């Protein structure tokens, strides 16, 4: 399941990891506590923060850990509700549950991201935060979502696992909310082989998140935390992951430029498909272009096309579609170790989020940079694809659309012409 960064692993990554190994310092901390010879993780954190325009950054072992740390650091816990889209990766929901809060599922809109209007409708006196997820590298509408959050006094915590480097209206994703969480596993925009990142603009959140991710320590272990007896875990990023991620980060702009060019080239070949259109983007200039999403006029057309192409509609994913997540189904054990059964609101059965269901069963995504059948992007191109293969993929999609027959509007138009209605007949 490689992402674009995986395809570009080469001498830079090898040199960075080798340098870390050769130094004899394989922890993010230097044994003498000195920052004169900083670790690869420390350098990665500084450069990542600068790239995003964030004040604070913490390298972690996963995006799930970053989400959990953000929730804990902002004081979210038992009795609180956090609004999450019904189309997401299950980690977004799991982090809320492990923080002790209740996930509240909300609809997506035709951008395939969280619907601000449904967020407003789902707010209750218990709602503490909204957690937009930038799925498939596509930015959520952060202006509308932050406006709703401000009106209801909510925190915003962004799940940017699939959209590292993306932006909305010129501002990097992950910096709109109180905190943002990123993934560095092999299927993401850039990779450290694994790992995650938390960014925040608030010093107190940074200090509390750092303490939670490293046994209660103050940032960089320069003393103990001053924010109470926070019982932390060990969620640190390893030095070798930091070394690889640092080399990949320096390729981020090149990766995004390449993906966007390939996405636009492929999209230009897929205009005027019968019964198919490009899914709307909240910010075409800011999306990561790791995928190209196509929405059909009917679920039947989407199924027929994906069968021909050997891929699947978005609705089919057992880890991204709310009602298919086995851990969330009514009647499942719904328990985490040592804790009472958790709740997810509303019930996670098909039909609970009708707009989400309708969009996901009519939409499929072509790979542009993330080749992942598990996500539904098993067919398409990758960052190394040449023009000949790109045209072959576009032709295959066009033939699949045509084999599924005309759209209902085309059928009506043809029937109208056949009746002579356009020839002046009464």
pLDDT at 329: 84
pLDDT band, residue 421 (cuts 50/70/90): very low
Nearest to 13 by CA among 239, 244, 194: 244
pLDDT digits (tens, 9 = 90+) for 159-178: 999 999 999 999 999 999 99
Please pick, among 122, 188, 251, 339, the residue that the annotation labels catalytic.
188
Residue with tokens 């092999």: 186
pLDDT above 50: residue 322: yes
Residue count of the chain: 426
Half-sphere exposure of 48 (CA within 13 A, CB side): 35
Q: What kind of fold does domain 4-249 have according to CATH?
A: 3.40.640
188 is catalytic: yes
pLDDT above 80: residue 243: yes
pLDDT at 151: 98
Domain boundaries, the chain: 4-249, 253-413
Q: What is the mean pLDDT of residues 197-223?
A: 90
Which of 72-86, 154-168, 193-207, 227-241 shows the lowest per-residue confidence on average (mean pLDDT)? 227-241
pLDDT band, residue 214 (cuts 50/70/90): very high
pLDDT band, residue 37 (cuts 50/70/90): confident
CB atoms within 10 A of CB 42: 20
Instruction: Indicate the DSSP class of residue 223.
Output: S
pLDDT digits (tens, 9 = 90+) for 291-307: 999 999 999 999 999 99
Which of 55-69, 213-227, 375-389 shows the lowest per-residue confidence on average (mean pLDDT)? 213-227
Nearest to 70 by CA among 104, 95, 87, 102: 95
pLDDT band, residue 425 (cuts 50/70/90): very low
Q: What is the mean pLDDT of residues 75-81?
A: 97
- 15: which 2 tokens? 């040199």
Q: How far apart are CA 6 and CA 190, in angstroms?
A: 7
pLDDT at 395: 98
Q: Please tell us whether the domain made up of 253-413 is placed in CATH 3.40.50.2000.
A: no
Beta-strand relationship, 102-106 and 81-85: parallel
- 257: which 2 tokens? 């430029």
Q: What is the mean pLDDT of the chain?
A: 92
Q: How far apart are CA 110 and CA 281, in angstroms?
A: 8
- DSSP assignment of 248-311 equals HHTTHHHHHHHHHHHHHHHHHTSTT-TTEEEPP-S-TTTS--SEEEEEESSHHHHHHHHHHHT-
φ and ψ of 143, to 5 deg = -65, -50
Q: What is the pTM of this model?
A: 0.93
Percent above pLDDT 70 for the chain: 91
Task: Yes or no: say if 84 and 108 are a contact pair by the CB < 8 Å rule.
Answer: no
φ and ψ of 133, to 5 deg = -120, 125
């Amino acid at each position: 399941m490689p992402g674009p960064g995986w395809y570009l692993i080469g001498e830079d990554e090898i040199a960075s990891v080798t340098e870390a190994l050769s130094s004899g310092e394989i922890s993010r901390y230097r044994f003498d506590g000195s920052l004169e010879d900083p670790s690869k993780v420390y350098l990665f954190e500084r450069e990542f923060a600068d790239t995003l325009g964030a004040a604070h950054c913490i390298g972690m072992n996963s995006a799930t850990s970053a989400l959990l740390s953000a929730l804990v650091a902002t004081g979210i816990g038992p009795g609180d509700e956090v609004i999450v889209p019904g189309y997401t990766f299950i980690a977004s929901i799991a982090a809320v549950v492990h923080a002790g809060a209740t996930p509240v599922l909300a609809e997506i809109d035709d951008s395939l991201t969280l619907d601000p209007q449904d967020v407003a409708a789902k707010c209750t006196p218990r709602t503490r935060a909204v957690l937009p997820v930038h799925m498939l590298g596509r930015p959520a509408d952060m202006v509308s979502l932050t406006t709703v959050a401000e009106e209801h006094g909510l925190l915003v915590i962004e799940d940017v696992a699939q959209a590292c480097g993306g932006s909305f209206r010129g501002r990097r994703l992950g910096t709109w909310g109180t905190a943002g969480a990123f993934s560095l596993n092999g299927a993401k925009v850039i990779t450290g082989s694994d790992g995650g990142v938390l960014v925040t603009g608030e010093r107190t959140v940074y200090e509390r998140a750092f303490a939670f991710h490293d046994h209660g320590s103050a940032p960089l272990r320069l003393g103990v935390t001053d924010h109470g007896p926070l019982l932390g875990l060990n969620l640190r990023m390893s030095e070798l992951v930091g070394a690889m991620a640092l080399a990949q980060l320096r390729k981020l702009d090149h990766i995004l430029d390449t993906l966007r060019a390939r996405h636009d080239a492929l999209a230009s070949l897929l205009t005027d498909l019968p019964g198919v259109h490009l899914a709307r983007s909240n910010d075409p200039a800011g999306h990561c272009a790791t995928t190209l999403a196509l929405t059909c006029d009917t679920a039947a057309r989407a199924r027929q096309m994906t069968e021909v192409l050997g891929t699947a509609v978005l609705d089919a994913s057992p880890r991204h579609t709310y009602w298919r997540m086995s851990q969330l189904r009514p009647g499942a054990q719904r328990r985490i170790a040592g804790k009472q059964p958790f709740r997810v609101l509303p019930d996670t059965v098909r039909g609970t989020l009708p707009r989400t269901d309708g969009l996901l069963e009519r939409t499929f995504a072509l790979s542009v940079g993330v080749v992942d059948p598990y996500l539904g992007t098993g067919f398409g191109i990758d960052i190394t694809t040449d023009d000949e293969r790109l045209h072959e993929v576009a032709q295959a999609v066009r033939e699949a659309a045509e084999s599924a027959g005309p759209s209902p509007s085309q059928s009506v138009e043809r029937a109208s012409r056949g009746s002579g209605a356009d020839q002046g007949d009464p």
